[in-house]
Structure 1
């Protein structure tokens, strides 16, 4: 009888113990593989932005020399316009919604590439014939040809509809990331409810 009582007490103590918490999947971070096409596009966008920024710096330098020397005011004004347009190239690479809204053509890669080629031509135009400007001419050539190459790649990619494919995959990635965030929020909420249930059972 004592043994049975002890067994019953042992059984009751086992029944009174709170159930172990269910294993939650939220402890495991849900990771989605990055799209290789989007990774390549982002890297190329960074290269294009750097090339455009280099064009901005070169044109600013050239404009300062033109205005300071007073030998070619028109070239200085021309360089100022090149700086403004190159700045739009950098903004286009950020794909800022405000810019895309008012400059719809920049959403399409062919139009964006044509703008980059135009800036490259403006940067390369009217090279100085002064022997003291060799460094400036070298930087002009580097910046112009880099941005020209990026513009040509953008134009051909736009013709091949790679820009459309990139935008489609970007929308899918955004939807997937939102779904992952919603799932993680649900898992977090489930864990909170589990902890609350365990606390109530212990009381």
Structure 2
């Protein structure tokens, strides 16, 4: 029976072995810049959700008080637009298909600033709802800060850099997947080769 690596007097070169830790090593290092962008996106999303909650509470209070009905309608618009801020932060392709401006950080920042201003509008100067006013101020200034950061970053083309790095990460993940498939195929071919030798 021929030895391993020999068949009918001919030497069969063993298939090159890809290091088993290669795919693990490629996946173990996420891009720190993209991690920071995802964390900031999560913070912006939470600030927008907080604005939605504040505007809903303010709208309910306004509709109960008949003299503030216009404030209630204004709050409903603020809730509707804040939902777009949350959707833009998910970076869902469907949203960008119809509202391409939200794909760019400067446009996204302007929308966030607009929602923050709408949330801050018509404060309760009588001081009856101190908790609601405090929550309104926190959500407003937090979203305003996120909007300013997005606007400045968009002007500095950091959003373009993020998209380029995301594309690179997708390409790397595809390369790792292809490498794993090649490794699996190599193992299958080795098993067939061993079975033929036996």
TM surpasses 0.5: yes
The aligned counterpart of 1:154 is: 150
8 A contact 1:128–1:137 mirrored in 2: yes
Matching of residue 52 in structure 1 with residue 48 in structure 2: yes
Matching of residue 190 in structure 1 with residue 166 in structure 2: no
1:98 maps to which of 72, 94, 98: 94
8 A contact 1:38–1:169 mirrored in 2: yes
Give the structure-2-normalised TM-score.
0.88
Matching of residue 87 in structure 1 with residue 83 in structure 2: yes
**Structure (1/2) with the larger helix percentage:** 1
SS at match of 1:25: coil
Q: Which stretches in structure 2 are left out of the alignment for 5+ residues?
A: 6-13
Aligned residues: 187
CA–CA distance in structure 2, aligned partners of residues 115 and 174 of structure 1: 28
* Largest Rg, 1 or 2: 1
The aligned counterpart of 1:139 is: 135
Give the structure-1-normalised TM-score.
0.86
CA–CA distance in structure 1, aligned partners of residues 62 and 22 of structure 2: 57
1:110-121 aligned within 5 A: 110-121=106-117
CA–CA distance in structure 2, aligned partners of residues 49 and 135 of structure 1: 22
CA–CA distance in structure 2, aligned partners of residues 65 and 171 of structure 1: 46
Q: Displacement, 1:29?
A: 5.0
SS at match of 2:122: coil
Q: Which stretches in structure 1 are left out of the alignment for 5+ residues?
A: 1-14
8 A contact 1:66–1:76 mirrored in 2: yes
SS at match of 1:71: helix
SS at match of 2:125: coil
Matching of residue 71 in structure 1 with residue 67 in structure 2: yes
